Amino acid sequence: MRIRFLPLVILLTLLSTAFFAQPVRAKKMYRWIDENGKTYLSDQVPPEHAQYKRESLSTKGRVLEVTEQTKSKEQRALDARLDSLKKAQDKIIAKQRAQDKVLLSTYRSVDDMNLALKNKMLGLDSEIKVLLHNVKQYESQLERGLKKAAGHERNGEKVPSRLLDDINSTKTQIDTIKQEIDKQSQKKQRVKSDFEADIERYKFLTQSNTEEAQKLSDQTAEIFAADALGLFQCRDDLECAKAWEIARKFVKEHSTTASDIDTEKLMMTREPAVDNDLSLSISKIDQKNKKQQIFLDIRCRQSSLGEELCASQNVKGIRSAFRSYIESGLTGH
């Protein structure tokens, strides 16, 4: 078999083409800013600066890619809690809007609501009246049974076991019915309280006209959520800067743990060490409408007593006081 050789000119041409076809690798440049505000520009990022947010640049200085700042374990946990708070906020707002919609579509006037409340109270009173009548019947039955038992004892006779069983059964029936009466009485108070709150809500929503009622509902639903979760909606950047300083004071007043992180967008106290510790944090969150919200987060120790503390009225009161505390600070009251 004969081996064929390429002409020298063709061979040199192929080698030259292959050589020049190799891309010239330009070093990638990075730009970042440290916590002191100093800007760096280099083709390498030292390990001690790897946590900072950085931009990779083209040879013409165009930003090709952005690597966000590395977050600590605590900050990642806080982000998760903030995400949960946002979802809870949306849920509360949606629920309040739905309740308002039902309220406005069910009743035509406050008189209608008062009449509905009256009928509801009459219905519950009737149920309680029946239960009270049943108690009297069982009490009469118990009295007869006790007299029979006393008669046997006076005659020196043993009280029949069947009679004793009937007496005990009657006592149990009386206790059960009395418990049901207590439940119905409590239900009556709850229904009355809820109805009265709905009446006040209806008055508030319809103070202008029906067309404006749903709009007013949307506005106040956000306030309900704010008070339930502990958040403040900034109107503009200047107000948010002032509100942030007031919120920092609030954290210091109510937290039982010392400060851990304190930046322009995050203030966090140390994790709870004991069961009665309250660890507070505030975060400044950018909204899609270019406005900002300040979220309050309250953490308790991961224990049964800690969970009980976080679910207590005391903690709920701290959350609900957050927005009004900032509003008062802004107005100087």
Q: Along the 333 residues of the chain, how does pLDDT read in single tens digits?
A: 444 444 444 444 544 554 444 454 556 788 878 777 788 888 888 877 877 788 888 777 787 787 776 666 666 666 776 677 778 777 877 888 888 888 888 998 999 999 999 999 999 999 999 999 999 999 999 999 999 999 999 998 999 999 999 999 999 999 999 999 999 999 999 999 999 988 988 888 887 555 666 667 766 776 777 777 788 888 888 999 999 999 999 999 999 999 888 888 888 899 999 999 999 989 888 776 677 889 888 999 999 999 999 999 999 899 889 989 999 999 876
Round to the nearest angstrom and report the end-to-end CA distance of the chain. Answer: 104
Please count the other Cβ atoms lying within 10 Å of the Cβ belonging to residue 237: 10
Q: Please check whether the domain covering 230-331 is classified as CATH 3.30.310.
A: yes
Burial class (CB in 10 A: 0-12, 13-18, 19+), 43: exposed
Give the span between the Cα atoms of 68 and 50, in whole angstroms.
10
**Which residues are CB-contacts of 57 (< 8 A; sequence separation ≥ 6)?**
28, 29, 30, 31, 63, 64
* Total-model pTM: 0.49
- Provide, for the chain, the percentages of residues in helix, strand and coil under a 3-state DSSP scheme, each rounded to the nearest 5: 60, 15, 25
Of residues 303, 306, 263, the one with CA closest to residue 284: 263
Give the span between the Cα atoms of 109 and 122, in whole angstroms.
20
Portion of the chain with pLDDT greater than 90, in percent: 42
